[in-house]
Chains A and B, each alone.
Chain A
Amino acid sequence: MFSYYLRLAAISIRRHWGLSLIMITAIGLGIGTAMTTVTVNYMMSANPIPQKSEQLFYVQLDSWDINDPWDEGQNPPDQVTYTDASNLFKAGKAFRHSISAQAFAVIEPRDPDQLPITVNARANSADFFAMFNVPFIYGGAWSAQADINKELVAVISKETNNSLFGGNNSVGELIRIDGSLFKIVGVIDSWQPAPKYYDLTSGAFNDSEELFVPFSLIAEEKITRSGNTSCWKPSGDGMAAFLRSECVWIQFWVELRDEQEKQDYLTFLNGYVEQQKQLGRFQRPLDNRLSNVMQWLENQEVVADDAKMMMAMSFMFLIVCLLNTVGLLLAKFLGKAPEIGLRQALGASKATLFYQYLVESACIGLGGGLLGLVLAWLGLQSVAAMYGDYMKDLTSLDGTMVLLAMLLALGSTLIAGLYPTWRACHVQPSQQLKSQ
């Protein structure tokens, strides 16, 4: 019977090709628009490290000005001071801990004819690589001892390795950075978490860094720090004074394996802050936070307002398209009243008629869904083109999204088709036959 209904649907769609085309276009446009915005939102709110997002915690301490609290007292500062980061690091109470900040470097080539290259760098501790599952092609992370000994070691990205060493294994090679020779210990494979959750301060969708060096080298001024710095108190002159200041510029993450470890760490943090209060710091009420990856992304509002607004609008748009389809299906099915009357008089039951018209709705829904996929793909291409770098990794349709698009198209068309189908099945055969 199903194939018979399919044939009937095909005949009906062809006979009323104008109406059918409007319906398919309307559903296609609705699905296309909705899927474009859903994809962008879905990619923006994706979990960048699903394996352990529940075990990684971002540390916030409220070291800010008592007279003018950060974020009007809603949240503690989004980074920590050097004093606190070093104290927490030294205490070593977490399973793993990552202390990191943005840096900037010029790598001078060995060949004097080549131009030096400038790179975005990160100054971080050894655990960084293990905590954030950074993949390596050659070598690996430096040792924890290298952090303490302030060794001149470096991990470089695949791109940097390609431009400096033509993609060969460069572990053990030396590179000159700001006048010092650094020994390469590892080369990272392509690695671009989106959102770039481990440091959201300069854009949640920025590129990951091209060079990684031990954090302890910042204090030695072997590497130039960059990135966001916020201060509420004059810091005094020179690097040493800056390190002692109340300026926040460091991201501190800890890895805690279970709820117990988390509770213990929070207790430790509260104790630490109480102790700092004795020294005259931390004058604001106790407000230490441990946010896991998804909580942190939520807290930092990584999904842009524009994207959320667009999604709301596109769903309203989809509803208009569906109302349109309901109206047109109604028109179409009621136009068949004589045919329905005839079939009923010949013995077709309401259930079979219902089935037949649902098959027809589903065909239109599928057509609309396919068109919608094409339009969503085009929509994402144009979003990528118009927004540029900001959206570059956020505009691909994956399997989940394709499936969702088809389900949305089919489901919504079937729902849209229910009322018209129901109306069509309640045609009075006697009346229809009479008017013939």
Chain B
Amino acid sequence: MLESGLIIRALMRNKMGALLIALQIALTMTIMVNAIFMIQDRQGQMARDSGLNEQDTFYLTNTIFAQDYNPQVGLKTDLNAIRKTPGVVDAIQINAIPLSGGGWSSGLQTEAGEDKDGVNTAIYMVDDHAINTLELELLAGENFAPSDIDWRLPSQSAWPAKVMITRALATSLFPDNWQSALGKTVYISNNQPMQVIGIIKNLQAPWNGWSGVERSALVPFQMETRSGRYFIRTEPGRRDELMPLIENMLAKSDKGRIIRRLTTMEETREQSYRQHNATNKILMAVVSTLTLITAFGIVGLAIFSINRRTKQIGTRRALGATRWQVMRYFMVENFFISAVGIIIGCIGTVSLNYWLVNKFNMTPLGFELILLGVITLVIVGQLAVLYPASKAALISPATATRTV
């Protein structure tokens, strides 16, 4: 452009204002790109499939306090009654709930022995109804048979002979080929063998922040416990209607226990990702106010510099410059300032990301986001300068002849 040299020389004579805008743009870009990256990262985590039916399921805690209670009989009676309730698809007793934050984990290893490395996995203790209740997808092998289910007494250390594992766990245990896990023997508690009889597509562990969140194992156990959880799936759309019914039915059937903490899987997901959601909203608010503030800063300084140059603009108009040329002058000027800011901003963005990666174990950001930041800021800059520039274009040539 012919005027470039002129604009740059004029800018150099009044560096400070331009430099301030450039720095603002640089910092805005640094924060914006990194914040959007963090938002995307969190959204990616929230979008992961838990593997189970979350819409039509809920769970409750059954706490026994009566001293003369038979937990084994009680559990059988309860599950029978729940499973027979019209509208209920299936129900199980389970020791932990996916995404809930609390559960059991254990190491599994492919060779027995105290000095062998293991892979940590979440442990779900369930019976043969688990696949149907949770609506899991069995990729290979078969479900537990009713005869596989053992009783687990409090503080028991022996494990059952069979196990079903998720594909992610199979991949960790047998990195060469996850399908080869089927039929293999794995060891729990260093040396207790369990045979892998089924591989499940997906089932998340209770801890959403854990790097091994996709690793879960189903163990055929019914727990003899004084505080157990029942997990229930209803026909689509009937969950809310059935929750109070089942609570009442269980509470009335036996006075020696308390039914509490009725929770839907959807509530559990909401609770689980509450911090993620909140952090994302805050970051979003920061990014948008930041962009607005920077835009207002550009408007303010542009208006100021136009006011100072009213006479010069008038002179240029009197000498034959068109309105569009006047406007273009300020838009090109803003573009140069933005460009400097964006170049510094790119360095800042990468540096901040580098710091975040080191300090908070985040992943490095991709090139596309930086490009997106560059484009956004150029557009914001041009939009912000549009109003002052159009005001400048309205300055009449007659201004040149006035003294004040």
Contact = CB atoms under 8 A, between A and B. Distances in A.
Contacts of A118: 63, 258, 260
A323 B289 contact: no
B155 A19 contact: no
Nearest to A390: B275
B368 interface: no
A234 B118 CA distance: 14
A239 interface: yes
B356 interface: yes
Nearest to B65: A106
Interface string A38-66: 00000000000000000000000000010
Contacts of A236: 157
B277 interface: yes
Contacts of B356: 309
A310 B279 contact: yes
B243 to A, nearest CB: 18
B404 to A, nearest CB: 7
B27 A320 contact: yes
A1 interface: no
B65 A330 contact: no
Contacts of B28: 320
B363 to A, nearest CB: 14
Contact of B293 (A106, A178, A320, A326): A320
Nearest to B106: A231
B16 interface: yes
A26 B275 CA distance: 27
Nearest to A226: B227
B278 A386 contact: yes
A103 B372 CA distance: 53
Nearest to A304: B275
Interface in B18-47: 20-21, 23-24, 27-28, 30-31, 34-35, 38
Contact of B279 (A18, A241, A306): A306
A19 B303 CA distance: 10
A330 B16 contact: yes
Interface centre among A108, A328, A383, A388 (most CB of B within 10 A): A328
A328 B307 contact: no
Interface string B267-286: 00001001101110111001
Contact of A328 (B118, B155, B189, B300): B300
Interface stretch (A311-319, A403-411, A425-433): A311-319
B401 interface: no
Contact of A313 (B31, B260, B278): B31
A108 B156 CA distance: 28
A156 to B, nearest CB: 17
Contacts of A436: 404
A235 B290 CA distance: 56
A67 B282 contact: no
B275 A116 contact: no
Interface size classification for chain A: 35 or more
Interface string B349-365: 00000001000100000
B278 A106 contact: no
Interface string A292-313: 0000000000000110111001
Interface string B374-386: 0000000000000
A108 B64 CA distance: 11
Interface of A is mostly: helix
A309 B360 contact: yes
B20 to A, nearest CB: 4
Contact of A104 (B34, B227, B283): B227
Contacts of B296: 22, 25-26, 324
A330 B20 contact: yes
B317 to A, nearest CB: 20
Contacts of A331: 17, 300-301, 303-305
B155 A327 contact: no
Nearest to B279: A306
Given A115-B258, A320-B28, A330-B17, A67 B297 contact: no
Interface of B is mostly: helix
Contacts of B260: 118
Contacts of B277: 386
Given A235-B155, A320-B27, A324-B24, A108 B297 contact: no
Given A314-B286, A317-B286, A327-B297, A386 B31 contact: no
Contacts of B258: 106, 115-116, 118
Given A106-B63, A390-B274, A326 B157 contact: no
A225 B11 CA distance: 73
Nearest to B355: A312
Contacts of B290: 317, 320
A26 B293 contact: yes
Contacts of A234: 157, 189-190, 192
Contact of B157 (A237, A305, A316): A237
B115 interface: yes
A167 B271 CA distance: 33
B21 A327 contact: yes
B294 interface: yes
Interface string B299-316: 011011101100000000
Contacts of A22: 296-297, 300
A29 B289 contact: yes
A313 B290 CA distance: 11
A316 B282 contact: no
A383 B283 CA distance: 12
A323 B30 contact: no
Nearest to B64: A106
A306 B289 contact: no
Nearest to A332: B304
Interface centre among A313, A316, A334, A388 (most CB of B within 10 A): A313
A67 B28 CA distance: 49
A338 to B, nearest CB: 9
A238 to B, nearest CB: 5
Interface string A7-41: 00000000000110010011001000100000000
Contacts of B31: 313, 316-317, 320
A319 B155 CA distance: 57
Contacts of B360: 305, 308-309
B276 to A, nearest CB: 9
A203 to B, nearest CB: 9
B372 to A, nearest CB: 18
Contacts of A419: 16
Nearest to A328: B300
B65 A116 contact: yes
A172 interface: no
Contact of A238 (B117, B155, B303): B155
A265 interface: no
Contacts of B115: 67
Contacts of A305: 360
A239 B155 contact: yes
Contact of B297 (A308, A324, A332): A324
A97 B118 CA distance: 37
Contact of B114 (A33, A67, A179, A324): A67
A26 to B, nearest CB: 5
A33 B286 contact: yes
A375 to B, nearest CB: 10
A236 B31 CA distance: 54
6 contacts: A29-B289, A224-B226, A234-B157, A235-B157, A316-B27, A386-B282
Given A29-B293, A320-B24, 5 more contacts: A26-B296, A234-B190, A305-B360, A390-B274, A423-B16
A-B CB proximity, top 4 nearest: A331-B304, A386-B278, A106-B65, A327-B20
